[in-house]
Amino acid sequence: MNGSVRIRPMSQADLEAADRAHRLAFGTFFGLTDPAKFRGDAEVVRTRWRTDPTACLAAELDGKVIGSALGMDWGSVFVLGPVTVLPELWGRGAARQLMDGLMALIAARPATTLTALFTHPQSTKHIRLYESYGFMPQGLIGVFSKPVDATPAPAPGTSYSHLTAAEQERALAECRAIAAASYPGLDLTREIRAVAAQRLGDTLLLIEGGAIGGFAICHTGAGSEAGSARCFVKFAAVRPGASAAFTRLIEACEMWAASVGAGRLIAGTNSGRRAAYKMLQARGYRADLNGLAMHRPDAPGYDRPDTFVIDDWR
């Protein structure tokens, strides 16, 4: 290949090539026999582009898409990545060009007060790259999972999909308030709507005293970020210090996972959220993978001991 890499907004026509580059990059990084089968029938590139096309970039060389950079706009928090490039082009500067594009994109979003990412603690190359953009290492991210009890039981509370349109708007407002209690301006509205619109799973709503006391955005099935026979808790939260509500929310996720036939539940969190981290371990969750959280600016964000939030940012 000759010429220079061009960074541009990702379009729908780019999705197949971007997905291929994403799988090959991670499959190669993890040493898979067939890198193209990384994450099986789970999707990341397509789901995130459909959720917010303005937060996704493509890298093009000689008219072909050779990589991508994805982002998730959560109000005051922008989750950056993953950034991927075809393995045969590693070391030629395309990842840095994608990062330049992402940083410009984030700078144009004035509501963002924290930019965060997940990287691999064993990769000094990746850590150096992100440090050069002002990101600083923070806590360990445990990507936990456990087998699901095959006997389904009714989950407490309700779910977003079972509400009327008016009820959904009220629920979104309550979920924004819960998220903002952990970090000002944190807003998962876009993710909740995307799960409903793309039929990726559902958002569970824990009812406490007649109001929503917690919520969990859950993916399941082929084409979601979970994949077949799995439930992935993309984000879940209760108010800081509400440990009993957090336990009930986890139980609701487990019950819902059983009801949809998922054999395994994936729920990650940051070690800085000490109580949440230890509670998952106490319930039998074990780390399948550890990641490193990096923040810009160098601040804890919502990775605090009393914060009960599930997410892993991959």
pLDDT tens string 25-45: 999 999 999 999 999 999 999
Pairing type for strands 264-270 and 201-208 reads unpaired
Strand boundaries in the chain, DSSP class E: 6-9, 57-61, 64-74, 77-85, 114-119, 136-147, 158-159, 201-208, 211-221, 227-238, 264-270, 286-296, 309-310
CA 260 distance to own-chain centroid? 21
Q: Predicted confidence band at 193 (pLDDT cuts at 50, 70, 90)?
A: very high
Tokens standing for residue 262: 């998922």
Residue found by looking up tokens 């054999």 in the block:
263
d(C-alpha 1, C-alpha 89), whole Å: 9
For residue range 60-96, what is the model confidence (pLDDT) as tens digits?
A: 999 999 999 999 999 999 999 999 999 999 999 999 9
Pick the CATH number of 6-112 from 3.40.630.30, 1.10.630.10, 1.20.1090.10, 3.90.25.10: 3.40.630.30
d(C-alpha 279, C-alpha 311), whole Å: 14
Tokens standing for residue 14: 């780019």
Residue count of the chain: 314
Q: Predicted confidence band at 155 (pLDDT cuts at 50, 70, 90)?
A: low
Same CATH fold assignment for domains 6-112 and 145-290+302-310: yes
pTM above 0.75, yes or no: yes
The residues spanned by each domain of the chain are 6-112, 145-290+302-310
CATH code of the region 145-290+302-310 = 3.40.630.30
| Helix 274-282 vs helix 243-259: crossing angle, to nearest 10 | 50
Reduced to 3 states (helix: H, G, I; strand: E, B; else coil), residue 56 is coil
Torsion, CA 226, CA 206, CA 181, CA 285, rounded to 10:
-50
